[in-house]
Amino acid sequence: QKGLGDRFDHSVGAACVLVPYGGRYQRTPAEASVYQLPTEGKTHTASILAHGYNPAVSAWSPYHGGLLAVVDATARLVACGGNAEAAHYSLQEYFRRMGAEADNWGQPYAALLGAHHALAALGRAAIGGKDSMSGSYHNLHVPPTLIAFAVAPVDVRRVISPEYKDKGHQLYWLRCPQDALGRPDLKAFAANNRFLFEAIGEGNVKSIRAVRHGGILQALYESAIGNGIGVHIDQLEDGFAPEYGGYLISSDGGLGIADNLQHLGFTTDSGKLEINGQSAAIKDLYAIASATLASVYPLYESVGEATRVPLATAKDAQRRPRTVSGIATPRVCLPVFPGTNSELDTARAFR
């Protein structure tokens, strides 16, 4: 999907805090969209916008799909440094044409019931967004869709990105137990969120990545590809098991004591994932993963030094500017219309 994501210009407005793909190689997907608020002066205040939805889970159980959408959106927000207790939510729904069959009408009801279950446990509420019940064409139907969006303010000085930062950092898995129905323990999830919010403020947390459908192994891999930093873990169980509400954390010190906190291993400069006595090069894994959609959304090729266009340099001595007080000061008019952007950063450039 990076080939598609690279077509979005995140630099518009000059307020981006987390680029869509982080790290030296810009490969680790950001957990959420984080942008500073548009102000004429300097500000440390930004907004976090996170989403949650898994079509495979929702097709299997709309109830679980709605519940886990809220949990995933919340976890993504917390992983960026946000406060779950200050989050606000919006739900966007899209379902098949209902018709006269009772089972079809049960899909949106079950999805909303699952979302309400999670929101009530977290002490939050959601506003309704645009919904549609016309996602059918002959015998083709969209999967039951309830996408949860979570937004909260954050100080940019506590924003965390998911890629590993350096070798020698300790890796932790803050787990979230599940009940017999496959639902996260929402009390444990809320406790995890409070623990992380405090740990980030103490300054020991270097990266956080929420665990979801791909399990802890997907989180370990995606956190590694941004900077090519490897990991070493002697023993890992349930690597690919989905676990919504859990977190992968790297730290350059201790994290204190918390329920369900498990030490995994540490980061290395080997460029490999070394887990349970087996190893695989990160670059080889990325080549396999990025080839999946390369024919649909081609990746931008990196420009080598041999083909790089040389920088233009001045060969002649530059004239010193004249200090004449009679030169007029340019005036600039920047029209601002609804739907446009970049007026504030453009004004700063002219000033």
Measured CA distances, 192 to 109, 120, 167, 174, 189 (Å)? 29, 17, 25, 7, 5
Report which secondary-structure segment, H or E, holds 221. helix 215-225
Q: HSE, CB side, 13 Å, CA atoms: give it for residue 193.
A: 24
Phi/psi of residue 174, nearest 5 degrees: -90, 105
Residue 340 is predicted with a pLDDT of: 81
Tens of pLDDT, residues 154-172: 999 999 999 999 999 999 9
Give start-end residues of each CATH 3.30.1330.10 domain in the chain.
31-159
28, amino acid identity: T
Residue 313 is predicted with a pLDDT of: 54
**213: left (phi > 0), else alpha (psi -120 to 50), else beta?**
alpha
Residue 337 is predicted with a pLDDT of: 87
Strands (DSSP E) found in the chain: 21-22, 28-29, 33-36, 45-52, 88-94, 126-132, 136-137, 140-141, 145-155, 170-174, 205-211, 230-233, 246-251, 261-268, 272-275, 278-281
Tens of pLDDT, residues 212-238: 999 999 999 999 999 999 999 999 998
Residue 351 is predicted with a pLDDT of: 78
- Closest to 158 measured CA to CA, from 37, 11, 255, 46: 46
- In this structure, whether the domain defined by 161-299 belongs to CATH 3.30.70.270 is answered with no
Q: Which CATH superfamily is domain 31-159 in?
A: PurM-like, N-terminal domain (3.30.1330.10)
Residue 312 is predicted with a pLDDT of: 55
The residues pairing with 254 across neighbouring beta strands, listed in sequence order, are none
Give start-end residues of each CATH 3.90.650.10 domain in the chain.
161-299
How many Cβ atoms are within 10 Å of 156's Cβ, its own excluded? 17
Intervals of the chain under pLDDT 70: 129-130, 301-328
Tokens in use for 76?
Answer: 């993504």
Instruction: Please tell me the distance from the alpha carbon of residue 253 to that of residue 232, in angstroms, as a whole number.
Output: 17
